[in-house]
Structures are given as C-alpha cells and as structure tokens.
Amino acid sequence: MNLNTIKNQSFKTILQFSIPSIIAMVLTSLITVADGFFIGNYVGKEGLAAVNLGLPIVYLYIAVGLMISVGGVAIAGMLLGRADAEKAENVFNQTLCTTSVAVVLLSVLVWRCLDPVLHILQADAQVGGFFKDYYGIMLLELPVMVINASFGMFIRGEGKPQYFMQVNILNVMLNILLDYLFIRWFGWGVLGVAFASLIAALVTLVLILHFFFKKSEVYKFRKFVFSGEVLRDTLLNGSSEFVGEISLCISMFAYNFVILKNIGVDGITAFTIVGYIAYMFSMVIIGFGQGASPLISFTYGAKEYQLAISIRRITNMIVLASGAALLLLVSGGAGWYSGLFVKNEAVEHMVRSGVVIYAISFLFSGINTISSFYFTSIGKAKESAIISSARGIVILLICIFILPAFLGITGVWLVAPVTEVLTLFLSLFFIDREASTKGRATDLKV
C-alpha cells in the first residue's frame, strides 16, 4: 500500500480494494441463492425450510472464523503499516492455524447437536429429514469455507484482491454447475446441493494454497512462534465480528422458532426467500467493509487519523447510496421475485407483501456495518462489539418477540428496519465520541 496514493485518491482506492471483495462476496451469496433456486424448484418448500432452519449453524462457523481472521488481519495490517513484516507474517501463520483447529473442533461439536436442535424447533419429519441430510454433509464443507475466507482476507490485505476474486468466480461457476448436475440430472435433492458446495470449496482451497506457496510476496507459510498475547489481541479485536455473527445465529434461531410456531412452514419458506436478497445486500456491505478495513488499519497504524476517518465517511456514503438503490429496485420487482423460488400462492403473497418492508432496513444497515468494521480496524473492539451486540442480540430479540406477537407476519418484516434505525443512533453516538477524542468538532458526520 502507498500512503500518498490512499491520501490523494481515497475514493478510487476504496473502490479498488472493495470491488474485488464485493464481487467475491456477491458470488458467494449467489451460491446460496442458486442453491435455494434448485431446492425450491426441484425439492419444494420443505427443502427450503430445512436449509433455513440450519442457518444458525452456518452463522456459528462464520462467527468463529471472523473473530479469529478479522482480528488477525487487523493486527497484521497495522504491523505492515509500521513496516514490521516479520511480525505480520507470524500473525498470519498463527491466525490460519488457530482458525483451522477451531472450525474442525466446531464440526465435531455441532454434529452431536443436530437432533436436539430439531427437537427444540419441533420440525416435522419431512423437514427434519432434509435438515439432517443437508447439514450432515455441510459439516464437512463449512470448515473449508471458513478457512478459504480467512485466506482471502490476507490476500486482500496483501493488496492482491483480484486473485481471490478470480478464484471465487471459478468457485461459483463450479458450484452452480454441480448443483444443476446433481439435482436436475442425478436427482440427489438436498444432498446434491451439499456435495456441490463441498467439492467447489475443496477446489477453491487448492487454488488459494497455490497462491501462498508460489505468488505471495508478503505472507509465507513458515514455522511460527505461538504468542498468547497475539491470540488474546486477535480474539479481542475480532470480538465484535464474533458478536455480530453469533447474534445472527441467535436471532435466526429465534426467527425460526417464532415463525414456525405462529405461521408454519409457509412462513419459514417466505422468510427464507426474502432472506436471500437481504443476504446478498449484506454481502455487498461486508465487501465494502473488508475492502476499507485494511486501508483504515494501515492509515491508522501510520497515525494518519484524519485519513482513516475520511475513508470511513466515503465508504458510508457509498453503502447508503447502494441501500437506497436496492430499495427502489425491490419496490419495483417484488412481484417477479416472489415467484422465482417456489410456485405456492400463499408463500408468494407473503413474499410480495414483506420484501419491500424488509428492504427499508437497507437504508441503515450499511452504516451500522461499516461503523463496526471501522472500530475493529482501529483496534477499538469494545465499541464495535457493543454496536454488534445491540444490533444483533438485544434490540433484535426484543423486536422479534414483540412485533410478530402483535402484527403477525407484518411484524416479522418490520423487525429488521426497526432494529437498524435504533442501532443507527448508537453508531452515531460512538462516531461522535471518537471524533471528540481526536480533538475535532463533534458534527455527527458518519
């Protein structure tokens, strides 16, 4: 990274770092949407509901991976900003080793919990069967997915996000091709989707390993000296991302429990379909966050505090505009979108009426996400964790258990926008306080 280039061409540099990351994240989300398309059209609404019931498991893996990886990348980025490449490389190796051990152990733990989860949710036999078939294989795929994502963060931190983007393009193409082959022609149902994901993830891992063995100029695989202090700082620095994803895990479980109890499988299916577009938008926002984070860490480590703040503000303006554009797009295309995944009038009606309400949250979620990334990137994990926990646990759970109880399915769709608006006030409070600590006017600019 070049400090003068970042300073003189901030907007361009943010896009250069973010666009490959966004493409990678959107491609990742396209895999999920493609899986949903094939399951909905060739298995049915029960298959979609089964996959959605297990999303808390996916978020649990992402939570563990992000806590270790984002924390490690932030520390390594600041070390590079201080021209300490040797320590940065040691952090890289320790982070990857820690991530790998953690997700493998997690698979062993989750495997033993599949039946208790189904019992708590009181899913019927058909949905439960699809659930166990799908996640029985995904417990092999999810560790590989997390390790790939961790590698990708360091590739971006090295300043070569284009390579990871290219690898992800291949991953998506292979995954969708195998989805079509295994479901449409072999008739493997949800098992076909799971096997497609596993094979594509393994191919991606091979290509990423090739990069670090042959092409990386900053990070190399070496014997490292384990540091308890680095591990502590890594976990603390990535704690907000962990809280954010764990909150998604908890909230998704609560969503599923409330919807399944009060509305049934049709409600879960409708929520799953609306969730696809929300998931894709969140991937765009996370892509901007991941693109801006190494720039913020680097400039902050170089004591260019005003530049780090400027990067945050520019990124926030971009995600706000993106949210507004998607809201307009969803408002005009709700009818078409509702029939894309299933042919069921009750489900389609729920989606048509709900997706526009839910999409209002896109106006605010970007700023909240970038604010959390910003505080993590400058080593202020406490503020980031508070934003994430308030947004994803405290406020969200209150809304989940109150709004649907009074407003039914409409209350389900209102949970997200109400949560994001309330969280925005908290984000602005911390931004204003950070401004005052740097001796600037507290003008509440995001």
Which DSSP category does 221 fall into? -
**Which tens digits make up the pLDDT trace of 399-445?**
988 998 888 888 989 999 999 999 999 999 998 887 777 644 334 45
Closest residue by Cα to residue 352 from 282, 414, 268, 270 = 270
DSSP H/E element including 115: helix 114-121
Average pLDDT over residues 191-199: 94
The pLDDT tens digits for 256-296 are 888 888 788 888 888 888 888 888 888 889 888 888 888 88
* pLDDT interval class at 3 (50, 70, 90): confident
Share of the chain above pLDDT 70, in %: 96
pLDDT score of 442: 37
111 Cα distance to chain centroid: 22
- Model confidence pLDDT, tens digit, residues 121-165: 767 788 888 888 999 999 999 999 999 988 888 887 777 777 888
CA distances from 308 to 333, 368, 378, 433 (A): 38, 17, 9, 15
The overall longest dimension of the chain from CA atoms, in Å, is 65
> What is each CA distance from 13 to 1, 157, 341, 373, 398, in whole angstroms?
10, 13, 38, 17, 40
The H-assigned helical ranges of 238-343 are 239-262, 265-301, 305-338
| Predicted pLDDT of residue 435 | 72
Q: What does the pLDDT read at residue 443?
A: 42
The mean of the pLDDT values for the chain is: 85
In total, the chain counts a number of residues equal to 446
| Proportion of the chain above pLDDT 90, given as a percent | 25
Q: What is the pLDDT of residue 418?
A: 96
CA–CA gap between residue 55 and residue 114 (Å, rounded): 12
Rounded (10°) angle between helices 395-407 and 239-262: 20
3-state percent breakdown (helix, strand, coil) of the chain, nearest 5: 85, 0, 15
2: confidence class by pLDDT, cuts 50, 70, 90: low
Range of lowest pLDDT (12-16, 166-170, 206-210, 416-420): 12-16
Instruction: Determine the angle formed by the axes of helices 45-53 and 55-81, rounding to 10 degrees.
Output: 50
DSSP 410-436: HHHHHHHHHHHHHHHHHHHHHHHHHHH
What CA–CA distance (Å, rounded) separates 444 from 183? 52
What are the pLDDT digits (tens) for 304-332? 788 888 888 999 999 999 999 999 988 88
The yes-or-no verdict on residue 240 having pLDDT over 50 is yes
The SS3 call for residue 86 is: helix
Domain ranges in the chain?
16-437
User: Which amino acid, residue 422?
Assistant: L
pLDDT per residue over 387-412, tens digit each? 888 888 889 899 988 998 888 888 98
pTM score, two decimals?
0.74
Give pLDDT, residue 446.
59
- Burial annotation 78-109 (CB, 10 A radius, 16+ → b, else e): bbbbeeeeeebbbbbbbbbebbbebbeebbee
Joined together, the tokens standing for residue 136 give 């029985």
Judged on CB neighbours under 10 Å (0-12, 13-18, 19+), 323 is: buried
